[in-house]
Structure 1
Amino acid sequence: MLSLTQAQNIKTIQLRPLGENQFSAIVPLGSVLELSFDDLDADSKEYQYKIEHMTPDWEPSNLIANQYINGFEQNYISNVSNSFNTLQNYSHYSVQIPNQSTLITKSGNYLLSVLDEYDEILFTRRFVFYENTTTVGVAVYRSRDTKTINEQQTIQFSINYPGIRINNPSQEISVSLIQNNNWNTAINNLQPQFLRPNQLLYKYTRETNFWGGNEYLHFDNKYIRNTSLNIAKTEQKEIFHNYLYIDEPRAENIYTYNPDINGQFVVRTLDGKNPETEADYAMLHFALEALEPYKNKDVYVFGAFNNFELNTENKMTYNKEAKFYEAEIALKQGFYNYSYATINENGIVDLSEIDGSFYQTENEYTVIVYYKPFGEIYHRVIGVGNGFFDQNK
């Protein structure tokens, strides 16, 4: 989860299906995803995208490019537009995958890389194309483990495959389980516990447990000039500066329902019609109350806005006089979810130490089914299922 900082000029990376408020890049084969990002240098660069087929463990697969793509696996991003009427100038890049030059023919895991003019990788994003050849039923429950019954959720699921011949499920089928589209906490390589005719059952009580976490915090600065949802103060300097209300640690509090979008963000503005090029950037000032600094630990603010990764850009510093952690992050106008995490001196990430973990938290889970029959050289994705936690279960 800890990663290197991407280029400081690259912001607001999104890889999403076409359509409003669609966040997951796990889609049926033949669907269209759109990659978009901004370059704060506001000049015209020759960026390229590259697509690679991957294994379930996100290593390069045995396929060569012409076995999974009709066209070019690497090509220029030619759709570029400049910001309009913003204090922060930027260039907005976008490309749809697949397109006329890049037609993807096989299901599976894919890694999308964006390269600069020197063929250096600026950033990567994962996506999955799947076939609807199985039916995946997913149920989410409160943890059955008495030690974590109040903090964790467990996922149980079934795979129904009436149209596929599976001779050896333990060798031919592998499964990945993802919480809230965050690959950093995925559980991989799960094996079925029970076999029935044309059905695999996964009824684990511990192996498929996730920490429930807490509902994400949020803010909305679609009207950048004024205070608004969870923004206490606004100043105009070289760009606008939005100061969030000081957050308190929530780990010792009781669970409180607070609707969220599971860590995602939506770019929007009231100052223009086209948020892609008319939404401005603001310097967001995050603050987390702490009477004393966390001993031998670093604190980070994170969410989908930085791919749920912890890096130098979103690392917080402790203000001894004010007694809070603070961070400044330039973000495009919109509605954002965010949360806090700690890393100790051994590199162990704790997503619950600050905000807590509760079995009641509303999370979304995705089950991805990989299939590699004997003699095949790559993993197909033959089904995807989704489930949500229901407190009444």
Structure 2
Amino acid sequence: MRFFLFLLLSGIITGGFAQPDYIRTVQCYPEGKPFAEPVIELGGATPLLFSFDDLSPDINSYTYKIQHCDPDWNSSNLSPFTYLNGFFSNPLEDYNSSFNTVVAYTHFTLTLPNENVSMKLSGNYLLQVFNDAQSDTPVISQRFSVVEPKATIQANLTTATIPQYLQTSQQLNFTVNYDNLPVYNPIRDLKVYVTQNQDPHSRRAFTPTFVRDGQLVYGNGQNNIFNGLAPFRNFQCSSLVYYTQYVKDVIRGPQGVYNFILQPASVYTNYVPLPTLHGNYRIEAENTNDPELEADYVTVHFAIYYPEQIPQADVYVYGKFSDWQLLPSQKLQYDFKNKAYVGEAEVKQGNYDYMFAVVPYGTGQPDLITLQGNFYQTQNNYYIRCYLYNFNQNYYELVAYSPVFYNGIGF
């Protein structure tokens, strides 16, 4: 099997911004819940933890800003004084250099809220990080949400009730209870969205099937049916010595960087229950005290057998470690000799879930079935958000948030 090495492109697109390739391993989650969505409660005791690595040889300083957004992540056009306590712009002051790694980096961390800034309103937010040397354009644009529970959600996940989807799909029925809210026109004033496995490409807006007194009922429609998909694939590169499952070989390159050659994959033809991180990843490094500073960056080589090149489409390695983006650096090429898609990605040592995504030209929408499979048994997580428009202050509140786990397993 031949593995091709591809150069990283100069920038990647994240949330509409060009993220330079020296910014890596951006993480954002509630404290103590590294696999959870970046959602915290307004005034709650659990803060949000945000971090990233700077692989630049230069010493960079950064400033962060926080912007309130509507349900579609557009600016709410509110004054920062309306939604923030403290300062709108703050320096990132918590950072440390990597220790005993081949690839040197600086690790930056931030906790929200903190003594300099806190959020006053619920809703969607954008955390933007700016390199002080190039302060016009953010280098990171991280989404997060703040919920103020004022409504409740009751949800039920089953196999699909429409016969043609019975073997491949899952059905999410749910009810939003808003008894104590000032809702005059529920279809106009309330917006509800569902995301599967934290993947923003799966985000779906819902219209209620029934409107009752103090309730919106969403159920038994085709919009409630989601592809079951296949279990996420996984690799571990926490050890530089021992081969873990799915690793075929580990080779140290001429500059000391380790290359992990994965076992070539195939399309799943049957459902196989596998341990899953639901597309997430965790930084781990064997024989270290602080993996965030001591884990090295390695190059992982991927391959998946497929009998022919898929016409009019690109193929990517895809998951949370790519921020659910279709990154040029993780695009695969078709190897006609070995009849396989092959490529590579540079990642920090750890435990990673991923999928192979097929993207038809011009769509920007990943197809996670062609190279994966589609099974109703797959363990998937679903995340329901309910927003209420506040007419007095002209913004959308996040009044209910509910994770739902198929087969009862999730984060």
TM exceeds 0.5?
yes
- How many Å separate the matches in 2 of 1:249 and 1:113? 38
Structure 1 residue 273: deviation in Å?
0.6
> Are 1:57 and 2:75 an aligned pair?
no
Unpaired runs of 5+ in structure 2?
1-11
Name the structure 1 match of 2:6: none
Name the structure 2 match of 1:104: 119
Partner amino acid, structure 2, of 1:282: V
- How many Å separate the matches in 1 of 2:88 and 2:234? 37
Name the structure 1 match of 2:380: 363
Assess if the C-alpha contact under 8 Å between 1:154 and 1:208 holds in 2.
Answer: yes
> Are 1:327 and 2:343 an aligned pair?
yes
Name the structure 2 match of 1:340: 356
SS of structure 1 residue aligned to 2:355: strand
TM-score by length of 1: 0.94
> Are 1:135 and 2:148 an aligned pair?
no
TM-score by length of 2: 0.90
Structure 1 residue 104: deviation in Å?
0.7
Assess if the C-alpha contact under 8 Å between 2:85 and 2:117 holds in 1.
Answer: yes
Over 3 Å off, 4+ runs: 2-5, 373-376
**Percent identity of paired positions between Structure 1 and Structure 2:** 29
Partner amino acid, structure 2, of 1:141: T
- How many Å separate the matches in 2 of 1:223 and 1:6? 29
> Are 1:126 and 2:126 an aligned pair?
no
Q: Which moved more, 1:89-98 or 1:25-34?
A: 25-34
Name the structure 1 match of 2:5: none
Name the structure 2 match of 1:187: 204
> Are 1:211 and 2:224 an aligned pair?
no
Structure 1 residue 149: deviation in Å?
2.7
Structure 1 residue 388: deviation in Å?
1.7
- How many Å separate the matches in 1 of 2:270 and 2:185? 46
> Are 1:240 and 2:240 an aligned pair?
no
Distance 1:193 1:326, change over 3 A: same
- How many Å separate the matches in 2 of 1:104 and 1:383? 17
Partner amino acid, structure 2, of 1:341: A
Structure 1 residue 3: deviation in Å?
4.3
- How many Å separate the matches in 1 of 2:400 and 2:227? 25
Aligned-residue CA RMSD in angstroms?
A: 1.8
- How many Å separate the matches in 2 of 1:292 and 1:66? 57
Structure 1 residue 337: deviation in Å?
0.1
- How many Å separate the matches in 2 of 1:49 and 1:322? 47
Partner amino acid, structure 1, of 2:247: I
Deviations 1:165-221 (A, max 9, x none): 322211211111111112221012x23222333322111421122221111000111
Structure 1 residue 375: deviation in Å?
4.2
1:19 to 32, 47, 51: 32
- How many Å separate the matches in 2 of 1:153 and 1:49? 40
Name the structure 1 match of 2:8: none
Matches within 5 A, 1:1-393: 3=13, 6-30=19-43, 31-117=46-132, 118-119=134-135, 120-188=137-205, 190-237=206-253, 238=255, 239-250=257-268, 253-347=269-363, 348-390=365-407
Partner amino acid, structure 1, of 2:25: T
Assess if the C-alpha contact under 8 Å between 2:122 and 2:147 holds in 1.
Answer: yes
Assess if the C-alpha contact under 8 Å between 1:299 and 1:343 holds in 2.
Answer: yes
Partner amino acid, structure 2, of 1:317: Q
- How many Å separate the matches in 2 of 1:382 and 1:20? 21
- How many Å separate the matches in 1 of 2:107 and 2:383? 31
Deviations 1:259-288 (A, max 9, x none): 201100000111311011011111111111
SS of structure 1 residue aligned to 2:293: helix
Deviations 1:123-151 (A, max 9, x none): 21211100122221111122233333322
- How many Å separate the matches in 2 of 1:176 and 1:352? 22
- How many Å separate the matches in 1 of 2:378 and 2:80? 42
Assess if the C-alpha contact under 8 Å between 1:187 and 1:208 holds in 2.
Answer: no
Structure 1 residue 373: deviation in Å?
4.4
How many residues end up aligned between the 2 structures? 387
Assess if the C-alpha contact under 8 Å between 1:284 and 1:330 holds in 2.
Answer: yes
Distance 1:73 1:144, change over 3 A: farther
Structure 1 residue 92: deviation in Å?
0.5
Distance 1:271 1:390, change over 3 A: closer
Deviations 1:5-26 (A, max 9, x none): 6311111110111115443102
Assess if the C-alpha contact under 8 Å between 1:225 and 1:240 holds in 2.
Answer: no
